[in-house]
Amino acid sequence: MCLMHRKAWPPYLAGIAIGLLQIPTFLLMNTALGASSSFVTVAAHIAAFFDPGIATMKYFESHMYGAKNWWQVAVVVGIAIGAFISMRLSGARRQTISPVWERAMGIRSLGARAPIAFAAGFIMLFGARIAGGCTSGHGISGMAQLSVGSTLAVAAMFAGGILTAMLMKRA
C-alpha cells in the first residue's frame, strides 16, 4: 500500500519528515517552525482593520509584516489542507467523541462540544503565546536548537498532558 493511502504514517517516518523541514526553514526563512505566531499575525491584521492604532503597538507591529510572519500563516493553512487531503486519501472517516470524554464533560452533541472546543483552543493558544511558542515551536524547533527554555516548556507540556490524561481516566 502506498504511504499516502495509509491511515497513519509510521511515527519515525513522520518525525524524520518534520525534523528535516527544519533545514529549509532555517536556511530560507531564517526562522523556526511554529504555529502560534501565525494567529497573532492574522488577529493583528483583523484588529488593525477596526483600529489602525493597533499596528503601532510594539507586540502587534512585530507580528504584522515580513515574510517570517506570513510564512507561519502559510504553514498553518498548509497543515489544515494537508490534514484534509491525508484524510481523504486514506479513506478515514470522522470519529465520534470518546466515551471517556462524554462522561467527563457530560456532553453528547456537537452543539454542546463546539463552544467547549473553542474555549479550550483559545486557552491553549493564550498559553502558547505566554510561553513564547507552541508545542511545535518549542518541541521541534526549540529543542533542535538545544534551547533550555524550550526543553523546560516541553517537559511542562508533557507533565500537563500526563496529568490531564490521569484525571480524565479517573472521571
Mean pLDDT of the chain: 81
Clarify whether residues 154 and 114 are in a common domain.
Answer: yes
pLDDT at 155: 92
* Number of structural domains the chain divides into: 2
Clarify whether residues 91 and 44 are in a common domain.
Answer: yes
Q: Residue 132 — left, alpha, or beta (φ > 0 → left; ψ -120 to 50 → alpha)?
A: left
Clarify whether residues 104 and 39 are in a common domain.
Answer: no
Where in the sequence is the domain holding 17, given as residue range(s)?
1-95
Q: What is the pLDDT of residues 104-127, one digit of tens each?
A: 666 555 566 678 778 888 888 888
Question: Domain end: 95, 117, 133, which one?
Answer: 95
Q: What value does the mean pLDDT take over residues 59-76? A: 84
**Helix axis angle, 36-50 relative to 67-90, nearest 10°?**
120
Question: Domain end: 61, 77, 95, which one?
Answer: 95
Clarify whether residues 122 and 157 are in a common domain.
Answer: yes
pLDDT at 90: 76
Clarify whether residues 89 and 102 are in a common domain.
Answer: no
22, three cell numbers: 527544519
Clarify whether residues 90 and 61 are in a common domain.
Answer: yes
Q: Give the integer Cα–Cα distance in Å for 78 and 75.
A: 5
Clarify whether residues 82 and 156 are in a common domain.
Answer: no
Q: What is the pLDDT of residues 125-160, one digit of tens each?
A: 888 888 777 777 888 888 888 889 889 988 998 999
pTM of the entire predicted model: 0.67
Contact in structure between 66 and 32 (CB atoms under 8 Å) = no
Tally of residues, the chain: 171
Clarify whether residues 149 and 82 are in a common domain.
Answer: no
Clarify whether residues 88 and 104 are in a common domain.
Answer: no
Clarify whether residues 51 and 127 are in a common domain.
Answer: no
H-helix or E-strand spanning residue 16: helix 11-24
Clarify whether residues 77 and 127 are in a common domain.
Answer: no
Clarify whether residues 91 and 104 are in a common domain.
Answer: no
